[in-house]
Structure 1
Amino acid sequence: MSARRSNAPAKQNLMYLHHHPFCPHSRFVRLLLAEYGLEPELVEERVWERRPGFLALNPAGETPVIVEEQCASVPGAGIIAEYLDETRGLALADHRLLPESPGERVEVRRLTAWFHEKMYVESTEPLVRERIHKRYMTRQQGGGPPDATALRMARTNLRYHLKYIGWLAKARKWLAGERLSQADLAAAAHLSVADYLGDVPWDEDEHARDWYARIKSRPTFRALLNESIPGMPPSKTYADLDF
């Protein structure tokens, strides 16, 4: 994982993304930016360290946060998604990640919130916290060995969310409808961290697996598939496009 850090303000026409490589919300924003053709300067944040410079950008102390010339601080995955749509969405034309129709927008936002809030709390956050973050946290910060009970519950909940994704993928071309949207990127971002850890039971839902294979094969996904954790190699399925 990158150890790059900076307290410097954003340079003219340069975007900074304060993130953590295995924060699913950060991964969602990285996928969004890639779909928009934007390449931000990445600044890794270990949020448990509560770095003063980062807290000045987002007092909530959570990743991701975007900083660029026209907006000094855009915190949170949902706010960033709306900000990018408002400032760059029209340029994508028919490939815009938030539909024009109000009803279709509601469905995209509903599903995006489902993955960022419900799936995150019930599954991906405890998986990342217990298996990744605790490796780097001190005892005072909450580090230590993984909590077996928390991991067991997270894996059980992940099966439930995988089935829901499979149900959506079976009924629709993409999760929220006929076009790729923010909802697909949100679900894929959360599944990607669980897949790195080898916790996704892909053999339990072929529709979810086939949908994820399609989105994982997009060029915009390549940077995520190159991420790795020292001493913790990815699962066999993580970078395999034909898993």
Structure 2
Amino acid sequence: MIRLYHSPLSPFCRKVRLVLAEKRLEVELVEERYWEKSVEFMRRNPAGKVPVLRIDGKTLTESAPICEYLDERFTDPPLIPKGTDSRYEVRRLIAWFDDKFHHEVTANLLYERVNKKLTGAGYPDSTKIKTGAKAIKYHLDYMGWLLEQRRWLAGDNMTLADFAGAAHLSSLDYISDVDWNRNGNVREWYAKIKSRPAFRSLLADQVPSFPPPPHYADLDF
């Protein structure tokens, strides 16, 4: 049995969930109120973060190495290419989303609008929300530029880089913070990845007090 301790709208957890689903691995999802830092959870991960994956008696933490572990152990379908240059580009884009996009966009929009209320951390900071709303335009334009040259974000095949990008954007789409009309290439790319069976559990997520918009689970937007 594989067990994933997660938070539904966490893009890092969503990335791992997409990999597990794409590999057709059965997993038990355990929603974790990580901000409460329970003794049991801190024993699983002293960093106090999700995701945490339990597999074959081992406890794995941090989304990027978890995803690479799963891809190396369960090789069908491969999500990280073999070529040195191709692997670099996948890892570069994963770092882009999980670092730059996360700090400039996700933390300023999702965390301010949703996480603060869920964790009792106060009221949203309107300045941060405005900063995130401005920054996401730049990121969508960059993704559109990449997709002018490639079928998928990192090349001609779908990779873990696409799951990293889709994990962040799907979390933001849940709160209607993505302008899908800004770039047709990005909209088409997201429609492709959103239609995959691996995405179904994400589209079924429901967060108390935060209902998703009608288009969230609509494969045609």
TM-score, length of structure 1 as denominator length: 0.87
Q: 2:35 and 2:209 mapped to 1: Cα distance?
A: 21
Partner in structure 1 of residue 67 of structure 2: 81
**Which residue in the other structure is 2:4 paired with?**
17
State yes or no: 1:219 paired with 2:190. no
Gaps of 5+ in 2: none
Residue 236 of structure 1 is matched in structure 2 by 214
TM-score, with normalisation over the residues of structure 2?
Answer: 0.96
What does residue 186 of structure 1 align with?
164
Structure 1 residue 125 displacement after superposition = 2.3
Task: State the alpha-carbon separation in 2 of the partners of residues 125 and 118 from structure 1.
Answer: 10
After superposition, the C-alpha distances for 1:50-88 in whole angstroms (9 at most, x for unaligned) are 1221111211111111012252x1101111011112211
Show the counterpart of 1:157.
Answer: 135
Measured in 1, the distance between the counterparts of 2:209 and 2:49 equals: 25
**Structure 1 gap ranges (5+):** 1-13
| Number of equivalenced pairs | 221
Q: Which one of the candidate residues 35, 38, 58 is aligned to 1:51?
A: 38
Could you tell me whether the CA contact under 8 Å between 1:23 and 1:128 is conserved in 2?
no
1:102-155 per-position Cα deviation (integer Å, ceiling 9, x unaligned): 1111111110111111111111123222111222223xxxx2221111111111
2:133 matches 1:146:
no
Offset of residue 96 of structure 1: 0.7
Map 1:88-237 onto structure 2 (within 5 A): 88-89=74-75, 92=76, 95-138=77-120, 143-237=121-215
Provide the rounded CA distance (Å) in 2 between the counterparts of 1:201 and 1:160. 12
1:42 is paired with a residue of what secondary structure?
A: strand
Q: Residues 50-69 of structure 1: matches in 2 within 5 Å?
A: 50-69=37-56
Task: Let me know the Cα RMSD of the aligned residues.
Answer: 1.2
Displacement of 1:208? 0.5
Are 1:34 and 2:13 matched, yes or no?
no
Q: Distance in 2 between matches of 1:159 and 1:151?
A: 13
Q: Percent identity?
A: 47
Residues in 2 aligned to 1:25 and 1:126: alpha-carbon distance in whole angstroms: 16
Map Cα deviations across residues 189-242 of structure 1 (whole Å, 9 max, x no partner).
Answer: 000011110010111111111100110011110110011122322123311211
Corresponding letter in the other structure for 1:88:
F
Q: What CA distance in whole angstroms lies between the structure 2 residues aligned with 1:233 and 1:221?
A: 18
Q: Which amino acid aligns with 1:148?
A: S
* Offset at residue 21 of structure 1 (A): 0.2
